[in-house]
Amino acid sequence: MSSITVDDKGRIIIPEDLRKKLGIRKGTKVKVSLKRKQVIISSIVDPKKFIEKMEGCIKEGSRVELVDPLKLKEIWMAG
């Protein structure tokens, strides 16, 4: 866990190791939310990239129910 300081404009700098793990670079948009007094910063998944990554994961005839990839993304992002 890293300790960071909020500046006079309310900004924080996300440590480099965390930015790398999340794939955050200059210009990257992130999602910021509050959960039980914790600020959560999450990378935003591009819907097209998500669909490309998920394509072929579930094959026809599988016992896993076929689901719209965008619905899957909603479920995933809510978690």
Q: What is the pLDDT of residues 39-76, one digit of tens each?
A: 988 878 777 877 777 777 767 777 766 677 777 777 77
pLDDT for 57: 72
Q: What is the CATH number of domain 1-44?
A: 2.10.260.10
- Report the SS3 class of residue 7: coil
pTM for the whole structure: 0.52
Backbone angles phi, psi at 40, to 5 degrees: -110, 125
Domain coordinates of the chain in residue numbers?
Answer: 1-44, 45-79
Single-letter code of the amino acid located at 16: E
Q: Name the pLDDT band for 16 (thresholds 50, 70, 90).
A: very high
